[in-house]
Amino acid sequence: MHDARVLIDLGDEAVRLLARRGYTLDLSALEALQSRRNSGIQAGDELRARSKQVAQEVQRTAKQGGDVGELKETARALKEQVQQNEAELEQVRQELTDLLLTIPNLPDDEAPDGFSDADARELRRVGEPPRFDFTPKDHVDLGEAMGILDFGRAAKLSGSRFSVLRGAGAALERAIASLLLDVHTRRHGYVEHAVPYLVNRRTMTGTGQLPKFEEDLFKTGVADRDLFLIPTAEVPLTNLYADEIVPPAELPLALTAYTPCFRSEAGSYGRDTRGLIRMHQFSKVEMVRICAAEQAREQMQLMVSHAEACLQELELAYRVVALAAGDTGFSAQLTYDLEVWLPGQETYREISSVSDFGTFQGRRAGIRTRDEKGKPTPAATINGSGLPLARTIAAVLEQHQQADGSVLLPKALHPYLGFARIAADGTPVEE
C-alpha cells in the first residue's frame, strides 16, 4: 500500500508512472480525502483541547462555589462533537484506505513499456534448447503414453484443470520438491517453513491479493471467519512478520516453503487448457526475502540467481526477461520472469517470477524494521518461485525425452528417485 503523502508529493509523476501499467490515478480524489483526513485530525485535536480546558474550568468553578451548570452543558456538547468528529474521521480514514488498497505499486524505470509478454525485454539465455532427430511430443502426450499422467481420471474427480500423477510421475514430483528444498536450504540459506494453506482476509490483504483479486481465490469458512486457500506460499510466508518490527541485525530474512497452491484462474479460460501449464491446484516451492528498503534490488538479483540454480540443476534451457510495466503484478515494482523452453510448444514459457515489491507489501502488512536512527520504517519484500512442480515436470519430460518415448532424468534427481530413466511404458529404470 502507498503512503498517500508520497503519491501526492509525486503528483503528475505518480499519474505518469501508474499510467505505464494501465491505471488511472485520480489525484484530485486522493488529495481531497487526504485533506479531509488532515482537517479532521486537526479539528479533533482542537475539540479535545477545548474539552479538557472546559473540564478544568468546571473543577475550578466548583471549588470556588460557582455555578457550573452552563459549563457542564458546554462540556457535554463538546463531548458529543468529539465523538461525532471521531466517527467522521474514521469514515474518511476508511475511504482513504479503501482507495489506497486499490492503487497498484509504481513500476520501476527498468521495466520496459508495454502491457503484454510480447513487450518483455530479454536479458539473457542459458543453455541450448535440445535438438531432436525426431518430432518431439509435448508433456501431455508423453505422460499419458507412459501412464504417469492421467488427466481423464482427474477430470472425473474434479473437472478440468486438475491432474493425477501416477507411479514414476508421482515419484518425480516428490523428488523435484526435495531437490529444490535442499538447494534453497543447504546452499542458499533459506529457512524452510510448513505453513497453513488457509489464511484470513487480513493476510490476503497484506500481500495484495485482496481486495482486487478476490475472484481469483478459493474461499471457504470456519466458524465465524472467512478463510482463503492460498494461491502461493508467498502469502503466509510474508505475513509471518505482519505487524512486527524485525531488528535490522536479523535482516535479510530468507524463507521457503513447499505447499499446494489454489487458483480459480478467473478470466483465463481458453488459455493453456491442455496439460500442466495452468492448473486450479498445483504444488510449488516458494522463496521470500524480507530486507531493508535499500537492500531490495540486490536481494532480488540474488533470488533470481537462486531460481536459475534450480533450472541448471535440472539441466533445463531457459531465458530471463524483464516484464513490461503493464504486465507486472499488482504489488510488484519490477519482475523478472524465468522462461523455460518447451519443445512441445516450440517456445519459452514462464516457470518462475521473481518480484521486487519495495515497501509496498511491508506497508500493507505492517512489516517494519528500524532505520539508522532507530525509527520504525517499512521493510521491503521480494518473492519468487523456486519452482512450481507442474511446469517443472512438463519441462523435464519435454526437454529430456528420447526417440523411443522414454525420458532420461537429470543427474541431480537420481539420488532422490533411485532411478535414472522412465521407460516408455512408465517403468522406472536404474542405470
CA 31 to CA 429: how far, in whole Å?
Answer: 67
Residue 265 marked ligand-binding: yes
- Do residues 369 and 375 touch, judged by C-beta distance below 8 A? no
List the catalytic residue out of 278, 315, 349, 370: 278
Residue 80 marked ligand-binding: no
* Strand 367-370 versus strand 244-245 pairing type: parallel
Q: Please state the separation of Cα 209 from the chain's center in Å.
A: 8
Please report where in the chains the cell 470456519 appears, as a residue. Answer: 222
Q: Please state the separation of Cα 23 from the chain's center in Å.
A: 19
**Smallest Cα–Cα separation from 326: which of 95, 28, 111, 137?**
111
Active site residue 391: yes
List the catalytic residue out of 283, 331, 353, 355: 353
Residue 383 marked ligand-binding: yes
Active site residue 278: yes
Residue 90 marked ligand-binding: no
Residue 232 marked ligand-binding: yes
Residue 171 per-residue DSSP state: H
Residue 225 marked ligand-binding: no
Residue 274 marked ligand-binding: no
Active site residue 350: yes
**Smallest Cα–Cα separation from 239: which of 333, 371, 379, 106?**
379
Q: Which helix (H) or strand (E) segment is 311 a member of?
A: helix 296-313
CA 189 to CA 186: how far, in whole Å?
Answer: 6
Burial 300-315 (b: 16+ CB within 10 A, else e): bebbbebbbbbbbbbb
Residue 385 marked ligand-binding: yes
Residue 286 marked ligand-binding: yes
Residue 13 marked ligand-binding: no
Residue 68 per-residue DSSP state: -
E-only strand ranges, 196-342: 198-199, 219-222, 225-229, 244-245, 253-262, 281-291, 318-322, 334-342
List the catalytic residue out of 161, 263, 363, 364: 263
CA 41 to CA 243: how far, in whole Å?
Answer: 24
Active site residue 125: no
CA 101 to CA 206: how far, in whole Å?
Answer: 10
**Number of helices and strands in the chain (H, E):** 13, 19
Residue 350 marked ligand-binding: yes
For residue 102, give the C-alpha cell. Answer: 486499490
Active site residue 431: no
List the catalytic residue out of 313, 339, 350, 398: 350
List the catalytic residue out of 313, 391, 398, 406: 391
Binding residues: 232-234, 263-265, 286, 350-353, 383, 385
Annotated binding site for ATP: 263-265, 350-353
- Give the annotated binding-site residues for L-serine: 232-234, 263, 286, 383, 385
Tell me which residues are annotated as active site: 263, 278, 350, 353, 391
